[in-house]
Amino acid sequence: MTSRIELNPLAAMGVERIESLYGSATLSPAGPITAGSWGTWHLRYIAGSYGIDENGTLLVAWRFATDWGTPQTSDSSAPNYVSATTDSRSCRVACRFDPKGYIRPWRACLAIDIVDGTLLPGDSITINYGDRSGGSAGTRAQTFVEKAFRFRTLIDAQGSGQYVTLPSSPATEIVAGEAVRLVAIVPSEAETGRQFDLVVKVEDGWGNPATSYSGTIALEEESGAIANLPDSYTFQLDDRGARRFGNCIVSRPGIFTICARALDGTLAGESNPMKALSTPGSHRPFWADLHGQSGETVGTNSVRDYFAFARETSALDVSGHQANDFQITEQIWEEIKAAANDANEPGRFVAFVGYEWSGTTAGGGDRNVYFLDSQAELLRSSHAQISDLSDLATDRYPVSELHKELAGRKDLFIIPHVGGRPSDLSYHSAALEPLVEIYSSWGEFEWMLRESISRGYHVGVVAGSDGHKGRPGSSYPGASAFGVYGGLTCILASDLTRSAIGEALIARRCYATSGQRIIVRASCENRPIGSQFRLDRPPAFDLEIVGTEELEQIELWRGNELLRSWPAIQERSPDQLRLSWKGARVRGRARKARWDGTLTVERGKILAVEGYAFDSPAEGVQDSGPNRVSWRSITTGDTDGILVALEAQADTLLAVDTPLVSTEISWSELGDSCKRIAAGGLDLELMLERRPLGLKERHFRVSFRPASSPSGDHAYWIRVLQGDGAKAWTSPWYVTH
């Protein structure tokens, strides 16, 4: 592993002097580069007057968030092959990839070592990313847009382990690809006769706004109940792939969706459901992504870009920005606060000032700190990447010291979460930590709710993106360590202000989803989600769910016991198989589980195959035929799978082979059950079943009271599963019988 010491001679010498001594670098083709495209790029370094001594190294580093295809040097016929050559006659070069080769956030490095001689002044090294000379398909570029993607080039000229960054380190813009889908967003609740906004955006295959789109779309609501929808609209370049249509009015109560379609027939999309009421209740639903980072620390683009995207492109109501504390300098902290305060507009958009307390797991693990006011103080877990130690005394570690310092405060709250570091829930402050984050781009972490309940904590649930790609509220996973599409939180609040949103979150009046704007209107004994109360009879529940797709199952849980599900008995398809898998290896960073595998069918025939709940174009069905299908998939707590239409008979044999588990079963043996095979880890499991047909509708209402309830304190909560794999979880009601 290379040294992580960097010299900064810029203060002592000018850019020209540095390049004269250490050299320069250029990239060709220079760009811009289409996100997720395959190609070959050449980085050419020309040595300065120092040259590079034997045992010296040229490093090219990428930021942590990038999902550029991982360089490999062993197979010239495989994707992402990289090579390095030199025109020097006085040395050789050796190329290697080091995923932890430099200082965060510049972690992933391509290292070019100088061997058997010296690179002399004027000699050059050419790095070929995606070298196709041996048959490789090239390399896949980063899948998300970035104003200046940098190939940070560093030189250890003396072989001392100390590096100097070249001022000429190449940078290029990553731009969106062609449009592949239309997305329409409306409020989940509207009052009849009052105006609401519709946002329509166009996305490329990786979830970036397709900024170059100039097509014409039509907007339709089939019942005619929504006025002021334009008949058509032609996107302009100034729209940057997203357009807001104001002054829309719904004339009568009901549940509505708006369809957007391109007039050329290439694209279509349906909005999330909107429930229109003549008399709204005291609490309205507001959608939030409370968690992400920008380029000031480990993410992409600026904090101001971050809040603008959340508000304008993702049509969020609420957002938070949570940078890692050990990277936040005083200057960065002032900019984060200023950006949040400038973006905050009561009644229109709430932006919280906050940060991520990023202590090691041994000290409590990741916690997000949110402030209800415009002013906020930073109490770091450490100064790990901050050279100015003048405020070192303000650090609070472990998290119990943070809890102690903030005890009694009413102007803030804290949310434990799982990112790179999982929170240790043995550390807990009931007064400061009303919620846990159970879903983000890192994966699905329902275990945080279950463990909290087991420990006797009274917490609600939220979901966010923890996105590093600059797309809060629309955080697609790309092709990296982020396993799933980022989650969303629906907050049931009296008003769209920091104080009202904060009050709702502290009261646990919220629910989490896997990123879809599923409507959950639920009460227990006429009390809202998150309530805590005493009762001398079994509690009565009133549920209304409106999905973005057909609902498969609604579940009522009491603690970690499934109390009731709807439908009570699943009807199943007679000729379709759902093969799915889920879970994570561990709670920590290495949680990613790879499920690349095959299904083979004997004495039967595969008629059709489609993916189920895959999260990224980097995953999914790879090949299929009459008797075999293959796929690529990773899970990080979530579920992926395939849906297979079969021509099957009783003795049709299904054989599944994955790196984690393999099995065989006949069609008759499968019957109406779900065969589950545990694969270790954290809920790693393979599941085979005839496809559940679910509730066969998007809208579901029920009232229910259990026949009995045991004495004691109980957490009742709802889990919603859609037919497309999307989920929602309510914060629990805490009832003492």
Residues 423, 527 within the same domain: no
Pairing of strands 162-165, 5-7: parallel
pLDDT at 12: 66
The encoded tokens of residue 451 equal 């463990």
The residue among 278, 297, 314 that closes a domain is 278
Identity of residue 668: S
Distances 382 to 112, 362, 364, 591 between C-alpha atoms, Å: 33, 13, 13, 25
For residue 276, the Cα-to-chain-centroid distance in whole angstroms is 30
Name residues whose C-beta falls within 8 Å of residue 625's C-beta, 6 or more positions apart in sequence: 606
CA dihedral (557, 562, 563, 567) positive or negative:
positive
Does the structure show a pLDDT above 80 at 604?
Answer: yes
In sequence order, what are the beta bridge partners of 544? 521, 701
Calculate ∠ Cα 344-350-353, nearest 5°: 70
Identify the CA nearest to 202 among candidates 299, 269, 140: 269
> Mean pLDDT, to the nearest integer, of 558-563?
96
Residues 469, 525 within the same domain: no
Residues 488, 540 within the same domain: no
Q: How confident is the model at residue 1 (pLDDT cuts 50, 70, 90)?
A: very low
| DSSP string for residues in 331-400 | HHHHHHHHHHHHH-BTTTBEEEEEEEE---GGGT--EEEEESSS------S--TT-S--TTGGG---SHH
For residues 643 and 612, the answer to whether their CB atoms sit within 8 Å is yes
Question: Does residue 578 lie within any of the structural domains?
Answer: no
**Residue entry with tokens 């499991």:** 685
pLDDT at 9: 66
pLDDT at 11: 56
CA dihedral 635, 637, 638, 639 (to 10 degrees): 70
pLDDT tens digits for 162-180?
999 999 999 999 999 999 9
Residues 164, 198 within the same domain: no
Distances 672 to 144, 640, 642, 656 between C-alpha atoms, Å: 42, 21, 18, 19
What percent of the chain shows pLDDT beyond 70? 98
Q: How confident is the model at residue 195 (pLDDT cuts 50, 70, 90)?
A: very high
* Three-state DSSP state, 358: coil
**Residue entry with tokens 């729209």:** 239
Q: Which residues of 402-418 are buried (b: 16+ CB within 10 A; e: fewer)?
A: bbeebeeeeebbbbbbb
pLDDT at 35: 97
Question: Does residue 116 lie within any of the structural domains?
Answer: yes
> What's the alpha-carbon Rg for the chain, to the nearest Å?
27
Question: Does residue 637 lie within any of the structural domains?
Answer: yes
Identify the CA nearest to 288 among candidates 457, 517, 612, 617: 517
Question: Does residue 576 lie within any of the structural domains?
Answer: no
For residues 151 and 169, the answer to whether their CB atoms sit within 8 Å is yes
Residues 87, 168 within the same domain: yes
CATH number of 705's domain: 2.60.40.10
In sequence order, what are the beta bridge partners of 2? none
The pTM of this model reads 0.96
pLDDT tens digits for 403-439?
999 999 999 999 999 987 899 999 999 999 999 999 9
Question: Does residue 577 lie within any of the structural domains?
Answer: no
DSSP letter, residue 422: B
For residues 153 and 45, the answer to whether their CB atoms sit within 8 Å is yes
CATH number of 233's domain: 2.60.40.1930
> Mean pLDDT, to the nearest integer, of 671-679?
94
The residue among 515, 538, 557 that closes a domain is 515
Identify the CA nearest to 335 among candidates 300, 364, 297: 297
Q: Is the peptide bond before 105 cis (omega within 30 degrees of 0)?
A: yes
Q: How far apart are CA 107 and CA 119, in angstroms?
A: 25
pLDDT at 3: 47
Calculate ∠ Cα 378-438-398, nearest 5°: 35
CA dihedral (592, 593, 598, 600) positive or negative:
negative
pLDDT tens digits for 480-527?
778 899 999 999 999 999 999 999 999 999 999 999 999 999 999 999
Does the structure show a pLDDT above 90 at 13?
Answer: no
> Mean of the per-residue pLDDT values for the chain?
96
> Mean pLDDT, to the nearest integer, of 234-245?
97
Please state the φ and ψ torsions of residue 674, each to the nearest 5 degrees.
Answer: -115, 115
CATH number of 163's domain: 2.60.40.1510
Q: How far apart are CA 296 and CA 313, in angstroms?
A: 21
Name residues whose C-beta falls within 8 Å of residue 647's C-beta, 6 or more positions apart in sequence: 575, 604, 605, 607
The residue among 657, 675, 692 that closes a domain is 692
Residues 30, 163 within the same domain: yes
Beta carbons within 10 angstroms of residue 274's beta carbon:
25
Q: Is the peptide bond before 567 cis (omega within 30 degrees of 0)?
A: yes
The encoded tokens of residue 708 equal 């009995």
> Mean pLDDT, to the nearest integer, of 8-28?
85
CA dihedral (491, 475, 584, 415) positive or negative:
negative
CATH number of 308's domain: 3.20.20.140
Beta carbons within 10 angstroms of residue 731's beta carbon:
31
Does the structure show a pLDDT above 80 at 7?
Answer: no
Q: Considering its fold, how many domains does the chain have in total?
A: 5
Residues 268, 300 within the same domain: no
> Mean pLDDT, to the nearest integer, of 360-368?
95
Find the domain containing 723 and state its range. Answer: 518-571+699-737
pLDDT at 4: 54
Residues 467, 535 within the same domain: no
pLDDT at 10: 61
Residues 239, 186 within the same domain: yes
The encoded tokens of residue 187 equal 């409020």
**Residue entry with tokens 């592949």:** 180
Question: Does residue 476 lie within any of the structural domains?
Answer: yes
For residues 174 and 33, the answer to whether their CB atoms sit within 8 Å is yes
pLDDT tens digits for 463-481?
999 999 999 999 999 987 7
Residues 478, 511 within the same domain: yes
How many CA atoms lie within 13 Å of 40's alpha carbon, on the beta-carbon side?
16
Q: How far apart are CA 165 and CA 175, in angstroms?
A: 26
Q: How far apart are CA 374 and CA 411, in angstroms?
A: 10
> Mean pLDDT, to the nearest integer, of 255-276?
97
Residues 171, 187 within the same domain: no
Residues 425, 470 within the same domain: yes
pLDDT tens digits for 40-95?
999 999 999 999 999 999 999 999 999 999 999 999 999 999 999 999 999 999 99
Identify the CA nearest to 466 among candidates 494, 445, 491: 445
